[in-house]
Structure formats: structure tokens, C-alpha cells
Amino acid sequence: MPAEGGKTDMERIGLFSEMEYITVGDKYVSQFNRPFNEAASKNKQMLPGGSKEMSDLQAGYFDPHFVRIFEGEGYINLNQVRRRDMMEAAKKNLGKAFLPSSGEKKPCGLGSYYGTIGGPVPFFSAQSKPREKYKAPGKNLYTNPGKKGTGYGYANITIGKQFSHSADFYDAAKLNYKKANEEHHRLLKGAPFKLNLHPRDYFDANPYFSEESLPPIIKEKKKKSISNTFKPSSPGKKPGGMKAGTFDPYPSHSANPYVAKLANISGKDDKIFHPPSGPKSRPVESIMTLNVRRALNSKNYKTSSVPSY
């Protein structure tokens, strides 16, 4: 329909042509009734020749003829190999096969031990075990019928005998305490023991406290410092190639006559030197030397102080 202005709807949208309507006139088919593969039901399909079963015929295999794994191998009869092995094993037997002296014995009934190796088992025997002689229990306790009465004001109605009457004094406890106290004082010897100790605090006293007076303070005597420095009387002598700077004079030369020493020829009786076995010891530096080397080195020997040990 042309709109206002003389232009159609397609001209206003700007498309070259209108989109096709694909579903117009098609029959509606539900998604449940549609086939899974529509192409499988149209045109010609691939028809296989059917499944082949495994058999001795060549039709059960993919290859057109039987293919051998090895070409030209020798034929081996397995039965012949088994017989040969059995004959070689029979040659190793020392004698004939073991045969029992008589045939096997068969049991003659349920619960019978005939034909067994061990024989009857005494634990499973049906005989009764020896038991102790039965002793009848003793007779029951016979009692008299209960005595009548409530217990208040009635005599001889309890199981035991009637209690005998005994007089009870009014101040019996006081009299007993007085007798025991008199007996206790009679056994005492001398006055009671008392400690002459002053009560102390919870903590210990000062262990460094002393009631004695301190000795007078000993004043250290100051050593007189030498003001003048020591100077030798004369400077040291320098060696001039003639031992002039030594304390002792030049040692006198003693002529040693040249005598050729003959080498000792070892005899049969002389012992041969055998070096000791095992590793030989080596010089080991002490821990003190190592500590001194660590503390003093070429960089701090001028500024380091002398350690006090």
C-alpha cells in the first residue's frame, strides 16, 4: 500500500526485493512424527550383503584366500612331541609306579571309621563320660511360726535373746572424760615442750644479710708511673757479614777429616723394616688458634682490642 508521499513500504525500507515466504502452503508436520533421518528414506540406499559368521569356509574371512603366517616352516605333530616328553620323563623314574598292597577300603556305613587312615577319634566317641557321684542337697531350714506381738511392751518376740537391762548414769560421758584426763596427766613427764622460735615470713630471709660489721675498706696502693721512657745505652749493632751484631763471638771452625762411610750390608739375621699400616696422623690446629685467626686478621689487627680470657 502506498503511504503518504507516493512511496511504497518496500521503498521506504530500502530493500531490493521482498523476502520469500517459505512455509506458505506447506503442510504442518509435528516434530514427533518427523523421521530421524529423512535422507535415509529417499532415493537409493547402500545395501550390504549381510553379516558373515565365523566358519571354516573362506566366506567368513575378509581375505579371498587363506594366508599363512610363515612360509616353508616345518610341520610339527603335537601328539608326537607329548609322547616324546613322556618317554623322557619315564626314564628318570628309579623303579616302577607305587601300587598299594591291597585295594582301597571303602566305608561300610555312616559314622564308621573302616577304611580311614587315622582310625576312630576318641573325642567324637558316643560313650558317656565319667561323672562324679550325685550328692543330694541338705534339708531346708525349718523355723517356728512367728511370735505374736507388735514389739512394744512384749517380751521374747525377737529372733535373738532379750536384751538385759543395764543402768545408765546421767553424767557418764563427763565422768569418763575426767578419768581419761587424769590418766593422761599421770603419764606425762615434765612440762610441755614449747619451741622458742619467732614466727617467720612466708619467704626466706636475705641470704646476704649478716649481723657482723663489715671489715674496713682496703685502699689499693697506686703504682708510681715511670715518666721517662727507656732508652738503650747504645743502638743495636747491625750484622755486617761477620757476626758483629750477635751476643756471642763467631764460633771457631773445627776441621772434620773426610772419611768415606761404608754402607751396612744387612745379613740374614737383621729384621726387615715394615712400615705401619693404616692412615698416618696429620697436624691439626687447635680451636683457640682458629678463634684467634677469626678475631684477628690483616684488616682489623690495628683497631681490635686484646681479648681477656
pLDDT in tens, 85-96: 999 999 998 888
Nearest to 52 by CA among 43, 63, 41, 42: 63
Residue 75 inside a domain? The answer is yes
Nearest to 86 by CA among 78, 95, 98, 74: 78
Residue 77 inside a domain? The answer is yes
pLDDT score at 151: 62
Interatomic CA distance for residues 107 and 117, integer angstroms: 11
pLDDT digits (tens, 9 = 90+) for 127-166: 888 889 988 888 888 777 777 776 677 777 777 777 787 8
Q: Total structural domains in the chain?
A: 1
For residues 86 and 60, the model is more confident at: 86
Residue 68 inside a domain? The answer is yes
Residue 81 inside a domain? The answer is yes
Q: Quickly tell me which residue has 521374747 as its cell.
A: 156
Cα 162 → chain centroid: 76
Q: Percent of the chain at pLDDT above 70?
A: 78
pLDDT digits (tens, 9 = 90+) for 176-225: 999 999 999 999 888 877 777 767 666 667 777 777 888 888 888 888 77
Residue 165 inside a domain? The answer is no
pLDDT(21) > 70? no
Domain residue limits at 71 = 64-92
Residue 74 inside a domain? The answer is yes
Q: For the chain, give the mean pLDDT.
A: 77
Within 13 A of 292's CA, how many CA atoms are on the CB side? 8
Nearest to 105 by CA among 93, 114, 95: 114
pLDDT(2) > 60? no
pLDDT score at 89: 92
Q: Coil, helix or strand for 172?
A: helix
- Give 161-181 as a DSSP string: PPPPP----TTHHHHHHHHHH
Q: Percent of the chain at pLDDT above 90?
A: 8
Residue 78 inside a domain? The answer is yes
Task: Please give the average per-residue pLDDT across 250-265, as a whole number.
Answer: 67
Interatomic CA distance for residues 307 and 309, integer angstroms: 6
Residue 83 inside a domain? The answer is yes
